Amino acid sequence: MFCTLLSENLEATFLNKGQPILAAYYRSWRDKFSNSANPNYFSDLPPAVDIAIIFPNDEVQPAFWAHLPAEVDTLIAKGTTVLRTLFVDALLQPHFQLAEDAAPLLPFTENDAGYAARAQEILTRYAALPGITGLVIDVDHPLSASEVHRAAGVWRALAARLHDQKTGGGMLVFDHDILTDFSPLFPAVAPFTDYVFVDCYGLSLADVERRWADYAPYIAPQQFIPGFSFYEERGEYWHDISGQLAGSHAADLIKWQPMGGTKGGLFAYAADRDGITEGNDTLQYTDFNQLKSVKSLLLQNTQQ
């Protein structure tokens, strides 16, 4: 039996439509506004993408942030929901700071008032841009018991604000990083989480099933969204997709369903590398044909 407090906003936008979602992480440092050598823009993502995720790093240049509002508007006009990713340390570190920040976040006390203050500062700093409707929190390293307690407090405060229908509602997503095991944080935040994105790069379907078994006591199958990765320049060889979608590991993930129900969809990491074969380290323009094919196969698989 799963326990969930899904936001009414999520029910209205995705789950009650009975259709799988396709989410795409676009690496912000590979947006053309960040570096003119890049061939694509974040806003080039096609309407087949239901959720577009801003995924920055320290290489992102100020021009990207300056043009982001217009890019978000373009994506929204295509019917795409836009989220922003953050690492879990934003919920933990007393002086958390990213390269884009002029100053660190303020320290916070470990009580309801402190959690609320940190949550509000996170939203003001990283999700205040109109059109960004939620956050994806990447849990990228193991947490101690005290860190779980602290992160869960901030998570609940974030959910309370993002799920507030008076402000339009929003989403809060838990990202299970490929480098980590099941986190003890999740049972503490499951009732306040809309989706779980699980990195399944290179995993066998048996391993994907085991990942689902970890989450099954806490969420509905349609909240569980596995993901694959396109090949990053000089990156890992996950063997998820190279060339055609047919016969690929990504196609196997599309067809896979969790025991007891239907998954919520699929996500793609490094969507700006759509169509690149493994081992090709050049920057190339993409028309996102593989993402379009992924969405088509997702829909076909759900209708069967």
Q: pLDDT at position 180, please?
A: 94
Beta bridge partners of 137: 86, 174
For the segment 252-277, the average pLDDT, to the nearest whole number, is 96
pLDDT attached to residue 301: 87
Question: 3: pLDDT confidence band, cut at 50, 70 and 90?
Answer: very low
Q: Is 237 exposed, middle or buried (0-12, 13-18, 19+ CB in 10 A)?
A: exposed
pLDDT in tens, 102-134: 999 999 999 999 999 999 999 999 999 999 999
DSSP 261-304: S---EEEEESGGGTTPPTT--S------HHHHHHHHHHHHHHH-
Domain ranges of the chain: 8-303
How confident is residue 303, by pLDDT bands cut at 50, 70 and 90? low
Pairing of strands 21-27, 265-269: parallel
Is residue 44 a contact partner of residue 272, using CB atoms and an 8 Å limit? no
* Percent of the chain surpassing pLDDT 70: 92
Closest by CA to 276, choosing from 244, 228, 251, 250, is: 244
How do residues 14-65 score in pLDDT, each as one tens digit? 544 678 999 999 999 999 999 999 999 999 999 999 999 999 999 999 999 9
The number of C-alpha atoms within 13 Å of 212 and in the hemisphere containing its C-beta is 25
What residues are paired with 150 via a beta bridge? none
**What is the spatial distance between Cα 219 and Cα 213, in angstroms, rounded to a whole number?**
10
pLDDT digits over 56-75, tens only?
A: 999 999 999 999 999 999 99
Other C-beta atoms closer than 10 Å to the C-beta of 49 total 26
pLDDT of residue 243: 82
Contacts of 153 (CB under 8 A, 6+ apart): 110, 111, 112, 114, 115
Measured CA to CA, the distance from residue 274 to residue 241 in angstroms comes to 9
Does 81 score more than 70 pLDDT? yes
Farthest-apart Cα atoms in the chain, separation: 52
- How much is the average pLDDT of 169-183? 94
Q: Is the pLDDT of residue 5 over 70?
A: no
Closest to 271 (Cα-Cα) out of 294, 248, 244, 296: 294
Give one DSSP letter per residue of 204-236, joined into a string.
-HHHHHHHHHHHTTTS-GGGEEEEEEPPPTT--
Strand partners for 51: 23, 81
User: Is residue 240 a contact partner of residue 282, using CB atoms and an 8 Å limit?
Assistant: no
User: What is the rounded average pLDDT of the residues 204-211?
Assistant: 97
How many Å apart are CA 223 and CA 202, to the nearest integer? 21
Provide mean pLDDT across the span 216-241: 97
Percent of the chain at pLDDT exceeding 90: 88
In this structure, what are the phi and psi dihedrals at residue 104, rounded to the nearest 5 degrees? -70, 165
Question: Class assignment of domain 8-303?
Answer: alpha beta
- What pLDDT score was predicted for residue 165? 57
Question: Given a cut of 60, is residue 83 above it in pLDDT?
Answer: yes
Look over the chain and give the mean of its residue pLDDT values, rounded to a whole number: 93
Mean pLDDT, range 210-233, rounded to an integer? 97
- Judge if pTM exceeds 0.85: yes
